[in-house]
Structure 1
Amino acid sequence: MEECDFCSIASGRAPANVIWEDEASLAFFPLRPAAVGHTLVIPKSHYEDLFETPQPTLSSLIQAVTLVGRGLRAALGPDGLNVINSAGEAASQTVFHVHVHVVPRWHGDHFGDIWPPNDAYASEVKDEIAEMVRQTLSP
């Protein structure tokens, strides 16, 4: 199997503009940032997506995301931050190494709203879906 791009960056075999790292995680600027300060945070170990990643790695990853987000807020003073993870091709994941985007946002920036407007579900549909999910989460 060919090594993924993010594994190459994590191992130091591919260049990246790294802004932070520790033993478990790495934060760097993507090649095509969505905004000034847009940062990717990855675990150094390869896992395809959030749901394949073991809990200890997820804990380290969210600590790294929080640290990087605080650093971006202090350095750039954005009005807000988006913290985004995409899992699977249908969710726009293009690099299949779990990663979190930390994107500084400003009022009136070129993004606009990230959530499309939609019609509310009927309460019966909400109840049915809620029960289906509860059943899958029950021990």
Structure 2
Amino acid sequence: MTAAATDCAFCDIVSGRAPAIVIYEDEHAVAFPPIRPAAVGHTLVVPRHHLRDFWDGEPSEVTPVAAAAAVVGSAIRRALRPEGMNLISSAGGVATQSVFHLHLHVIPRWADDHIGPIWPVCPPREVPSREHVAALIRAELTGLGSGSGS
């Protein structure tokens, strides 16, 4: 577990050093709307302890954050009746992470919202086979106790 970062805006919110409109909190996570929401009901879910991103934490540290996002997502669904939802987390600047404290964006979606599609319209130019990529990932999972899946 990483200690709170002294220059992290989300650590400041979790500790109470910075204001936020807290929507949900439990022993592991805190949820609040971002300053500039992408949609009505857009909520961030962050761990109470500092993790840079999903890659920075062990599964036991990030699982409660995902569970809190599920609780928040259910409440958003009941309160706002969206037609869909995006759950987004970015790791690294190239993936558009701007606050380097793990956070999940829970974003309600409607057919006529201004956000638009989140997937690229064209596939990458050179794509290795799915089988090859799956084999590479399975090799890294060996010994982690997560099974091979199908």
* TM-score, normalisation: structure 1: 0.91
- 1:119 deviates by 3.2
What is the alpha-carbon distance in structure 1 between the residues aligned to residue 10 and residue 128 of structure 2? 43
1:21 aligns with 2:18: no
SS of residue paired to 1:17: coil
After superposition, residues 28-67 of structure 1 pair within 5 angstroms as 28-67=32-71
What is the alpha-carbon distance in structure 1 between the residues aligned to residue 128 and residue 120 of structure 2? 22
Identity percentage of aligned residues: 46
Runs (5+) with no aligned partner, structure 1: none
Q: 1:90 aligns with which of 94, 111, 118?
A: 94
User: Deviations for 1:50-102, whole angstroms, at most 9, x for unmatched residues?
Assistant: 01112222121111000000000010000011000101111110111000000
Which is strand-richer, 1 or 2? 1
1:132 aligns with 2:145: no
* Counterpart residue type for residue 11 of structure 2: C
What is the alpha-carbon distance in structure 2 between the residues aligned to residue 133 and residue 55 of structure 1? 16
SS of residue paired to 2:44: strand
Equivalences, count: 139
Runs (5+) with no aligned partner, structure 2: 144-150
* TM-score, normalisation: structure 2: 0.85
SS of residue paired to 1:70: helix
- 1:116 deviates by 1.1
1:8 aligns with 2:18: no
What is the alpha-carbon distance in structure 1 between the residues aligned to residue 141 and residue 23 of structure 2? 38
Runs of 4+ in 1 over 4 A off after TM superposition: 120-124
Evaluate the alpha carbon distance shift between residue 13 and residue 132 of structure 1 in structure 2; reply closer, same or farther with a 3 A threshold. Answer: same
